A and B are shown apart, each in its own frame.
Chain A
């Protein structure tokens, strides 16, 4: 059973470009969380999605960031007009159901570097 797959592993963008980060949850998992990890920091929650629905985007910057989890295909975190401060590792986690004790399974992350 494949784990959570994130791609690309590394992404380099110039300021002003768009970044698209992909996350395929584990098989049977319909709940996806995105987190951002700045250097020397812990992970910070960004957004929680179920298939075709954004449930909680309270951690997402109001501008330039968006997320989706379509009926078919991976979840996408999209960052428009990237700036240097967007450089970070972005992690996706999935779970089969929304239960407090249900562990979230993490992908290996995408390291985004902005030139």
Chain B
């Protein structure tokens, strides 16, 4: 079974600084996607960024970028120029085709990010 591990329950960053959130996963599949979702106190689940396993180039979305190391099964999220609105829970998620016929997401337990003014 696939598992996703986020080893940092909490992180903090000074406003305008850079922070990196860690994520590792375990899978025997070769074709899959990885995602980072943000959950602010409002509890919405907001897609931040996604990465296809076959693409070697790391995904970027404005201030958000990933460091995808397929051999190491590592998928970290870097947030540059941190803003107060970045404060939230961040979930790493894995997705592949399951034998039962679905593309369910498997989530880590999350990292709570605080941004210090």
Interface residues of B in 12-61 (CB under 8 A from A): 31-33, 35, 37, 42-47, 50, 52
Q: Contact between A58 and B32 (Cβ–Cβ < 8 Å)? A: no
Indicate the size class of the contact surface on chain A: 20 to 34
Q: With the chains together, A103 CA to B24 CA distance in Å?
A: 20
A106 smallest CB distance to B (angstroms): 4
Q: With the chains together, A80 CA to B29 CA distance in Å?
A: 37
Contacts A41-B109, A42-B108, A43-B91 known; A103 to B103 CB distance under 8 Å?
no
17 chain-A/chain-B pairs, Cβ below 8 angstroms: A33-B102, A41-B110, A42-B107, A42-B109, A43-B45, A43-B107, A45-B105, A45-B106, A55-B100, A56-B98, A100-B97, A100-B103, A102-B103, A103-B47, A104-B105, A108-B43, A109-B43
List chain B residues, Cβ under 8 A from A91: 45
Q: Count of chain B residues with Cβ under 8 Å from any Cβ of A?
A: 31
List chain A residues, Cβ under 8 A from B102: 33, 48, 55-56, 98
Residues of A within 8 A of B (CB): 33, 35, 40-45, 48, 55-56, 58-59, 89, 91, 93, 98-104, 106, 108-109, 111
List chain B residues, Cβ under 8 A from A48: 101-104
**Which partner residue on chain A sits nearest B96 by CB separation?**
A100
**Which partner residue on chain A sits nearest B35 by CB separation?**
A103
A42 smallest CB distance to B (angstroms): 3
Q: Contact between B104 and A33 (Cβ–Cβ < 8 Å)? A: yes
A109 smallest CB distance to B (angstroms): 5
B49 smallest CB distance to A (angstroms): 11
List chain B residues, Cβ under 8 A from A41: 109-110
List chain B residues, Cβ under 8 A from A40: 109
Q: With the chains together, A106 CA to B35 CA distance in Å?
A: 14
